[in-house]
Structure 1
Amino acid sequence: MTTSPALENPVLNAVRRHTRSDNPSSFLALNRGNEVFTAPGLDGLVVYRRTGRHLVQFGGPFATPEAYEALLERFTAFAREQDLGLVGVQLQRQDAEAYRRQGFTVNQIGASWAVHLPAFTLRGTRFMQLRNKISRAFRNGLEVEEVDSGRWEEALHDIDRAWLGSKGEHARPLEFLVGELGGPAQEHRRLFLGTIDGAAVGYISYSPVYGSRSGWMHDLSRRIPGGSPGLMEAINSRAIDVFRAEGVDWLHFGFTPFTGLDPAHEVPGHSPAFQWLMHFLWENGEALYPARTQLSYKEKWAPEELIPEYVAFDGPASPAAFAHVFRACKAF
């Protein structure tokens, strides 16, 4: 058994080849700061971060069907040998079933959302308000183009600083379960930038999605505070035009915790107490994570595909272990 800092080539190859669970966020495995676990003789790898006395695993193992559960067993043993807790996050339904078989407690934690682009249109009364916001942004001088992030690095940093400054004195950018800009993986992402009078005012980064719903994921998005309404909607609408012209099938809007919760999505053996906690955080957890705000933006695009996502605990479901997911994300 070995561990090492995540390297681009083996991780990228794994998420491209091993799409068993159809995880739309799998490209986040390439984020800098992740670690990788492998086991001799098993074709696959596990991506994780350590926080305190816990390992927080991203997604299920990226492995062949034959190696999947054996690799999960080895990784679980690796954590136990060090007396570390283990929690897996952003598991898909097939992952959830496998973890349940391995004795984990598995609960739905939220959902991700996707739009099927070949049939997508902004026509009709349903999208009237969205069209008006987009039109207003363009009337206010917004221009949108796909750009090379390296040529706009300073301007992107300016947007990031202004965006983060609007979040409060102690705010820090999230990591792990959200995308990033730069690094070796940047060449595989796409960046759409909004400018007004030549000045950068907002951007959206899109990450590739592999598997049966292949396409792009609307990932990191930031804007200058204030300014014209509809900036992000206009940038995304222009990206959709480009993707549709290229024949892209799916646009994913990524994972939002506490959303899309449904008893029908739970797996046998789930924790009723933890299920209650997720519903409580949907109703009252805006200070922990702005799930309602995130979902409101995604619902503007009328996503027809709701993809439930799960968290798994090696042992009973534990709010203390769950908190390590947010620590891995640098949320607190």
Structure 2
Amino acid sequence: MTDPTPTATPAAEGKRRPRPPAPPSSAEEAQMDAVAEAEHARHRAPSETLRARLAELPERVADLAAPVIEAAVALRPIAPYLLAVMVFLGGIDLLLQGTGAEIRWRQRLLSTTLPLTFTEASHLFSSLAGLALIILARGLALRMNKARVIATVVLLAGAVFALAKGLRWEAALLLAGMALLLTLARGAFHRRGDWRDFRPARGWLAAVAVIVAATILLTVVGFRDHSFVTEDFWTFAWSGDASRGLRASLALAVALAVIALDGLINRPAPSRLPRALPVPPAVRRLIADCPDSARQVALLGDKRFLVAEDESAFLMYGISGRSWVCLGGPVGDEAAGEKLMWRFVEMADRARMKPVFYSLPFARIEKLLELGHSILKIGEVARIDLPAFSMDGPARKDLRYARKRAERDGLVFEVIAAARVPALIEELRPVSDAWLAERKGMEKGFSLGAFHPAYLANFDLAIMRQEGRIVAFANLWASGAQNEMAVDLMRHLGGVSPVLMEAFMCEAILHAKAQGFRWFSLGGAPLSGLPDHPLAPVWARVGTLIYRRGDEFYSFDGLRRYKQKFGPVWSPFYMTCPGGLSAARALVDVALLISRPRRAATEPEPGPEAIDPEPADAGPAHG
């Protein structure tokens, strides 16, 4: 049987099958690769651009945030004061909201969602919250953390009350924003305490009373068309704005009376600072090794002491007015001393006092620059280079004459050992009393020695006798390692000899040189060496004016001229304190601390001592 399917001939098959394409040339291949690469790049470009922008995002955010961060850092020192002002104004705003009628369309909307009782209560508590914010503003200005926490809660509650009493969303946003700022700035409110620490003072209570009285007056004026009667107090209605204002005014008056009564009755009496302040043994040991002889004044007993835990350093300070005054900076180990300086500043800050550092050499200034203090030059110290000191030469002819004249006048110099000083106290007392009476002055203190027998018994005593009678004396400060000797308390009788004190000082200097000391300190010359230039700081110009024109009160220039006779090396000393008006207050506080000293610890005081404890978290402190 034959297959009916026709068989294609080779010629016909060749006509139906297409020819395979010719292979592309190298140029065509390159063109095709370029097109494919371009297409791939077109699809890839958006993702790469996105990745590049995401990579740049942190840098851009950092650039945008940098000014904000810089501003926050710059404002941090004054942030508590700014926030206190904002909270104070927020409290006044809440008070003023109750002096007028609410917006009617908002009140109608509230009436459909909230019960009347809730709105009435919100109106009353809103006014009380305003009063609370005004009171708390003082605590914020004092950087009290508890005031910040309470103010944050009251601000948030005030925001809720503002919405509930009249849909005052603008005020609610402002109050909530203040609460947020207080939360963000919580690091600036580091002082601990409770209500007693920022209880309103009498002046603050008077100011709050004026604000509350003005609020009540504005309420009466705002509803002057309304005739107030007794029944109005008990009227509760959506349209009862006048009744709500009357109830809020009464609540404010009662709340203020309670706060004032608490402030006037329960305010703790200021504690007296103790006069007797014993010197810790660690302080005596560190003083004995200190190369600065002026630190011997710590033994006067009128100061407080902050001692390192390992007793390797201490600093001494006094309290005057609103200032804690550290004298001379730390003594002892440098690292421990730096920690004590910061601890001292923290303690003063917690006590709401201003830290002041008085009578500092230039080497101590660098560490205090970090505190942001103002630096005031307050004078110069005269020190004699003993190895180079000589009585020879034309520059010393006046001193040679003084010694010879003293010898002709029968003046005899002697140094008494400390152990023998108590037996001479009754001979020294008439000299001291006569010296004070002649100058119509009182004993000084703090940075200057005073005539206290137990204090003088700590030191060798230089005396000048005439015919066996003591006519002049001075206690001698001797530093550690024989670095420096200095005279402290100098007293003499008048009319003995015109060269008494020049001769006395010459003999003391020669005594120190014979003992092998490196320096002899003549003490300070207040207000000496201040810059006299129209562009000098205000304090420098005022100090220069006092130095030149103040001879009626104190011979500033005469004191410097007297010390210049001995050819000293002058070096400046400084005071650092917070800037602005605080500097002027600090100067007054230091002056009062020196001119009105407390009785020294070495002097007995009748009656019980008052204890003024250090803050509980201040660490170990003495005195």
- TM norm structure 1: 0.86
SS state at 1:25 partner? helix
Contact 2:303–2:446 (CA<8 Å) still a contact in 1? yes
Aligned with residue 283 of structure 1, among 526, 539, 548: 548
Q: Which moved more, 1:72-81 or 1:8-17?
A: 8-17
Which residue does the alignment assign to 2:394? 125
> 1:103 and 1:69, CA in 2 relative to 1: closer, same or farther beyond 3 A?
farther
- Post-superposition CA distance 1:15-56 (Å, at most 9, x none): 345x5xx64422212222111123546842220111122212
SS state at 2:449 partner? coil
Which residue does the alignment assign to 1:66? 335
Contact 1:8–1:185 (CA<8 Å) still a contact in 2? no
> 1:39 and 1:315, CA in 2 relative to 1: closer, same or farther beyond 3 A?
farther
Aligned with residue 435 of structure 2, among 153, 163, 176: 163
Which residue does the alignment assign to 1:327? 592
- State the 1:242 CA deviation: 2.6
Question: Quick one: distance in 2 between partners of 1:125 and 1:57?
Answer: 42
The answer as to 2:521 corresponding to 1:252 is yes
- Matching residue's letter, 2:479: V
Question: Quick one: distance in 1 between partners of 2:436 and 2:511?
Answer: 29
Question: Quick one: distance in 1 between partners of 2:340 and 2:388?
Answer: 39
> 1:137 and 1:166, CA in 2 relative to 1: closer, same or farther beyond 3 A?
same
- Matching residue's letter, 1:306: W
- State the 1:125 CA deviation: 1.7
- Matching residue's letter, 2:527: F
Q: Which stretches in structure 2 are left out of the alignment for 5+ residues?
A: 1-273, 598-623
- Matching residue's letter, 1:155: E
Contact 1:23–1:92 (CA<8 Å) still a contact in 2? no
SS state at 2:330 partner? strand
The answer as to 2:472 corresponding to 1:193 is no
SS state at 1:174 partner? coil
Larger radius of gyration: 2
SS state at 1:60 partner? coil
Question: Quick one: distance in 2 between partners of 1:197 and 1:70?
Answer: 54
Which residue does the alignment assign to 2:474? 204
Aligned with residue 577 of structure 2, among 302, 313, 321: 313
Which residue does the alignment assign to 2:488? 219
- Post-superposition CA distance 1:184-217 (Å, at most 9, x none): 5545522111111111111122111347x81201
- Post-superposition CA distance 1:201-239 (Å, at most 9, x none): 11122111347x812012221110122111122222223
Question: Quick one: distance in 2 between partners of 1:122 and 1:331?
Answer: 39
SS state at 2:444 partner? coil
Which residue does the alignment assign to 1:116? 385
Question: Quick one: distance in 2 between partners of 1:272 and 1:242?
Answer: 41
- Post-superposition CA distance 1:139-185 (Å, at most 9, x none): 111111112322221111000010001012xx202111112455555
Question: Quick one: distance in 2 between partners of 1:229 and 1:273?
Answer: 39
Question: Quick one: distance in 1 between partners of 2:548 and 2:487?
Answer: 25
Which residue does the alignment assign to 2:367? 98
Question: Quick one: distance in 1 between partners of 2:519 and 2:531?
Answer: 24
Q: Which stretches in structure 1 are left out of the alignment for 5+ residues?
A: 264-270
The higher-RCO structure (CA 8 Å, 6+ apart) is 1
Contact 2:399–2:506 (CA<8 Å) still a contact in 1? no
Which residue does the alignment assign to 2:425? 153
Q: Identity of paired residues, percent?
A: 24
Aligned CA-pair RMSD? 2.6
Which residue does the alignment assign to 1:142? 411
Question: Quick one: distance in 2 between partners of 1:197 and 1:233?
Answer: 19
